[in-house]
Amino acid sequence: MRSRDAERGRVSAAIEEVDGRDVRIGERWLVDFGSACHLGLDLDEEVIDAVPEYLARWGAQASWSPPTVLHERLSSALTRLVGCERLLLAPSIERAHLLALPALAGTGTVFLDDRAGRSLVDAAAVAGDHGATVRPLRRGDPDRLVAQLRGGWRRPGLICVEGVDPLTGAPAALAALATVARDHGALLYVQDTAALGVLGERSPFEPSPYGIRGSGTAAHLDADPAALVIAASLSSLCASPVAFVASSEPVSRPLDAAAAATGPCPQFVAALAIAIEGLGVNERRGDLLRARLHRLAERALGPLRAGERAARGIPAFPAMELERGAREALLEHGIHAPARGPTGGPVVRITAAHTDEQVDQLRLALDSVPSPVKLRSVPAE
């Protein structure tokens, strides 16, 4: 490991050099806890070494119609992963939401998670511009949702939630929400980018409490798939921006019509290659990476919420937002954590590519955070 400048002066905003999970900003080296690729496949040699062959064969951009075998291979791998009957690809999660939400909502009603991220909020606004009614949904309150659904609302109904809480990493009550949606003739639309590749279906033979296969929050909580629509990008799984919308066959009809109206979505070959190769690595050794990820997350973040997580059976999710004032304390201890949280605080993201020493450095930094600056608590669900 190369030597690190111990200077603790003011740092510039631009990252100028990368060495694994270390980054240089100005003259100072910091440990980077800003990567959203929790499996660490953004640094995996098997994934990286495969990309040049794709570029040599296909060029840089793939915007063809009909789709290529690259799109078919990716669709097949994703269908196996999430177990859906129908799947549509998009170049980004923003494009996926903009394609799916207005088409599924029509002139009906969108019940929108009050913790929804910007891309979901923007897509719901577009659905509203096209005639849908958008109503707020209080996260973690299925009883209130039942009361809303028993009242007057225009059909079709779309219940839009984040698979895991963007503030805390706590999974949404998807099993209960899916049952509510099914019983009231609505669809449950889950934005699951953060959890795809991390959480997966439970198994007696799982190497970690995250489950196996990395198939997402709905699979982890065994939510009824009949009323589900899953939208996610592959950024957490393998650092590819490629996204998808997965559904059962009847649900896919409005999505097919929207896709036909908008035409083929351009894709960059490198993004497709990373997605295909990353999904392959996930199939072969993803559970081993998740076991390592869970161990590292428990090492740094587990003690901070041991009591409440144990009471609710929540594994330590490898991402956590801090209060705004924590960023300076992290920098003082050589930790880079961008201010990307919904409320503007720094978000620390642990990946399987971090070392034990780097995670211990984060733990010491978190211990130094002043008492008025606390980690955000997990709301009751």
User: CB pairs under 8 A, 24+ apart, for 146-153?
Assistant: 146/180, 146/184, 148/111, 149/180, 149/184, 149/186, 150/184, 153/108, 153/109
Burial of 307 (0-12, 13-18, 19+ CB in 10 A): exposed
Q: What is the rounded average pLDDT of the residues 107-122?
A: 92
User: What's residue 329's pLDDT?
Assistant: 87
Q: Which of 373, 297, 357, 368 is nearest to 332 (CA)?
A: 368
Contacts of 370 (CB under 8 A, 6+ apart): 325, 329
d(CA 345, CA 34): 12
Confidence bin at 134 (pLDDT 50/70/90): very high
The DSSP element (H or E) to which 350 belongs, if any, is none
Q: Please say whether the beta carbons of 217 and 172 come within 8 A.
A: yes
58-96 pLDDT, tens digit each: 998 766 666 788 988 999 999 999 988 888 889 999 999
Domains and CATH numbers, the chain: 45-283 (3.40.640.10)
* Of the listed ranges 111-120, 161-170, 234-243, 312-321, the one predicted with least confidence: 312-321
Omega within 30 of 0 (cis) for the link into 156: yes
Query: Would you say the C-alpha torsion 270, 276, 277, 279 has a positive or negative sign?
Result: positive
177-199 pLDDT, tens digit each: 999 999 999 999 999 999 999 99
What is the residue-wise DSSP string for 40-59? Answer: -GGG-HHHHHHHHHHHHHH-
d(CA 92, CA 332): 35
Q: Please say whether the beta carbons of 13 and 327 come within 8 A.
A: no
335-368 pLDDT, tens digit each: 999 876 666 788 899 999 999 999 999 999 988 8
User: What's residue 6's pLDDT?
Assistant: 43
Whether residue 119 has pLDDT greater than 50: yes
Q: What is the rounded average pLDDT of the residues 263-281?
A: 87
User: What's residue 373's pLDDT?
Assistant: 44
Q: How far is residue 215 CA from its own chain's centroid?
A: 11
Query: Would you say the C-alpha torsion 231, 237, 243, 249 has a positive or negative sign?
Result: negative
Q: What is the rounded average pLDDT of the residues 5-25?
A: 74
Query: Would you say the C-alpha torsion 252, 253, 259, 264 has a positive or negative sign?
Result: positive
